[in-house]
């Protein structure tokens, strides 16, 4: 079963990487850069600040910090436990790919995917009653995560596992924060 998943992972990675062109490479290098998303973070901070009471803003920001910290720590723990070599560092895989980045740590599971999804999920649930456009927040982790496959630094299963973990952590943190700190305000 694991061997079949690994084969599918490599096939999907090669398929996605097959679309690689110089103009696409520039776009996806931009998307994969965390600093690219600073305007989004600033907009969300402004939006939260203008739509919630001061004590709610504090609770939301603290919960975002907590969920981000939890996903970073757990992701690093899982990477060290699983020790899956990244596709860019696996010669049997990378020799067929256009590798754009060369990180040397482990691959499973994607920290970019889990962190982005956790924060997006948390913020989505807080904002869903404030704007009908809250669902657009999920474009960020999807684009950000896809860029990691395109760069050949993650297998698709790394991304899927990261997105799933991020969603679970984001939702659980939202429920905890809402029930214990916001519902009664």
Per-residue pLDDT of 75-116, as tens digits, reads: 999 999 999 999 988 888 888 888 888 888 999 999 999 999
**Does the residue 185 lie in any domain?**
no
Bridge partners, residue 85, by sequence? 106
| Span 116-132, pLDDT tens digits | 999 999 999 999 999 99
* Full residue range of the structural domain in which residue 116 is found: 2-180
* Predicted structure pTM score: 0.91
Q: Do the beta carbons of residue 144 and residue 31 sit within 8 Å?
A: yes
129 lies in some domain: yes
CA distances from residue 159 to 48, 88, 154 in whole angstroms, order as listed? 28, 15, 7
Residue 18 lies in a domain: yes
On whether residue 59 sits in a domain, the answer given is yes
Nearest to 101 by CA among 159, 17, 7, 9: 17
- Whether 27 is covered by a domain: the verdict is yes
| Backbone CA torsion sign across 16, 160, 107, 122 | positive
Report if residue 137 sits inside a domain: yes
Residue of higher predicted confidence among 167 and 17: 167
Count of the separate structural domains present in the chain? 1
pLDDT score of 185 more than 70? no
31 within some domain: yes
In a domain, 11, yes or no: yes
């Amino acid at each position: 079963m694991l061997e079949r998943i690994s084969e599918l992972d490599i096939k999907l990675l090669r398929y996605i990487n097959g679309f690689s062109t110089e103009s696409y490479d520039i776009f996806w290098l931009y998307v994969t850069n965390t600093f690219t998303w600073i305007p989004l973070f600033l907009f969300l901070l402004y939006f939260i600040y203008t739509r919630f009471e001061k004590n709610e803003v504090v609770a939301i920001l603290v919960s975002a910090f907590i969920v981000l910290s939890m996903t970073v720590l757990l992701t690093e723990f899982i990477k060290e436990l699983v020790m899956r070599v990244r596709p860019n560092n696996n010669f049997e895989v990378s020799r067929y790919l256009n590798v754009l980045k060369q990180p040397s740590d482990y691959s499973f599971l994607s920290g970019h995917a889990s962190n982005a999804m956790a924060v997006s999920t948390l913020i989505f649930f807080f904002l869903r009653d404030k704007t009908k456009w809250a669902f657009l927040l999920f474009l960020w982790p999807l684009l950000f995560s896809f860029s990691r496959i395109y760069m050949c630094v993650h297998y698709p299963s790394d991304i899927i596992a990261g997105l799933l973990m991020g969603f679970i952590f984001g939702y659980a943190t939202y429920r905890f924060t809402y029930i214990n700190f916001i519902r009664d305000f």
